[in-house]
Structure 1
Amino acid sequence: MKKIIKKVYIIHGWGESPNSYWHPWLAQELKNKGFRVVVPEMPEADNPQIEKWVAHLSQIIQSADEKTFFVGHSIGCQAILRYLETLKDTKIGGVVCIAGWFNLMNLDKEEVEIAEPWLKTLINFPKIREVLQNKLIVILSDNDPYNCLEENKIIFKSQLNTDAIVEKNRGHLTGEDGSNQLPEALEAILRISGS
């Protein structure tokens, strides 16, 4: 009997790389548990653009199914959701959003210009709900300097039917915040994948 391999795509955030923060640790932990893990280098990470990031994911993934899982950090969550909008007649295994957002704060002028398309371009939530099948886990922090916590919690709940898990004093859940390992992300993937 052929073993079905579960795939996990870890999508880094704005200004990050596959080697940022907890990404290498999570990738290794998932590999140790038998997952096939891909941590792609997203294009122009210092100036992320929706079209380029979604196209890059489409090129890398090619075929998503119920054994396909995603973990995103920050804008990586947005990229995943926008990629899911493009799927036709497909259901995936699930998504874990770390420090995901729909609204941001404390950005400088240049950052606002980069973030604006991500903030203002509508997301097809009904389509995403159909693809996700309620398999979404969101992990936020109560002191994230960029995340409008209450607003984003409401959007995740009202639009994607999920309650955010709110960690205490974890900032933007990056290496600077002491998050070089993120057991919560590992636990979340194991839970939604049934592993």
Structure 2
Amino acid sequence: MARTAIIFHGTGGNPDVCWYRWLAGRLEARGYAVEVPHHPGINNEPIATFLPKVLNAHSFDGDTVLVGHSGGAALLLALLEHVGVTVAQAILVAGYCTRPNTSEEPVLQESYDWAAIRSHVRDISFINSREDPYGCDERQGRAMFERLGGTQIVRDDGHFGDYDQPYERFELLDRLIP
């Protein structure tokens, strides 16, 4: 049975921006079945109604690898809390667990069951930048790391892909996923 990787884009994004398709190709070459779904409701629809749609749209098991970018990383927190299985790995890129700026963040829950999240992922990593233009910075990564453990990686690399930051490849992510 093939390992599955699911790559969740960020707010206002889609599967064809920045490094998503590149990473998918790299993982497919290693035998992964890769999904790069388009979920336009990420951070637009309230998490209480959006999350069940995401949970029903995908299958998760002990070999699943989850990658989320920005709003997609914030989505992973809710997903991991409610998924009901323990996945192999989750990587949150430019993720956050509290409002990183003055924008509304419907992807965030009011609170999190950190123990449930921790019990539903074997290996979790947080990649944040000190110079993230949206506030999805190393302090956000540290807040999640302190509650969940895992690995925190801090770079000076903006938002790791944005409308004004081409980011076609993400070698670090490729190396983090076995």
In the superposition, the TM-score normalised over structure 1's length comes to: 0.82
Q: CA RMSD in A?
A: 2.0
Secondary structure at the aligned position of 1:93 is classed as strand
Q: Which residue of 2 aligns with 1:7?
A: 4
Q: Give the length in aligned residue pairs.
A: 177
User: Does 2:88 correspond to 1:99?
Assistant: no
* 8 A contact 1:22–1:181 mirrored in 2: yes
Cα gap change, 1:82 to 1:178, in 2 (>3 Å): same
CA distance in 2, matches of 1:12, 1:40: 8
CA distance in 2, matches of 1:144, 1:106: 11
> How far did 1:150 drift?
4.4
Letter in 2 for 1:174: G
> How far did 1:143 drift?
0.7
Higher strand share: 2
CA distance in 2, matches of 1:129, 1:157: 10
User: Does 2:26 correspond to 1:37?
Assistant: no
Q: Which residue of 1 aligns with 2:69?
A: 73
* 8 A contact 2:9–2:69 mirrored in 1: yes
Structure label with greater radius of gyration: 1
Please list, as runs of the form range in 1=range in 2, the aligned pairs for 1:138-153 lying within 5 A after superposition.
Answer: 138-147=126-135, 149-153=137-141
Letter in 2 for 1:84: L
Structure 1 gaps of 5+ residues are: 191-195
Cα gap change, 1:21 to 1:148, in 2 (>3 Å): closer
> How far did 1:106 drift?
4.5
Letter in 1 for 2:117: I
Select the residue among 48, 55, 59 that pairs with 2:56.
59
Cα gap change, 1:120 to 1:68, in 2 (>3 Å): closer
Structure 2 gaps of 5+ residues are: none
CA distance in 1, matches of 2:43, 2:147: 28
User: Does 2:127 correspond to 1:130?
Assistant: no
> How far did 1:50 drift?
1.2
> How far did 1:61 drift?
1.4
> How far did 1:46 drift?
7.0
List 4+ stretches of structure 1 deviating above 6 A.
Answer: none
Secondary structure at the aligned position of 1:155 is classed as helix
- Post-superposition CA distance 1:85-133 (Å, at most 9, x none): 2233x211110111111234444xxxx23x1x44451111110101113
Higher helix share: 1
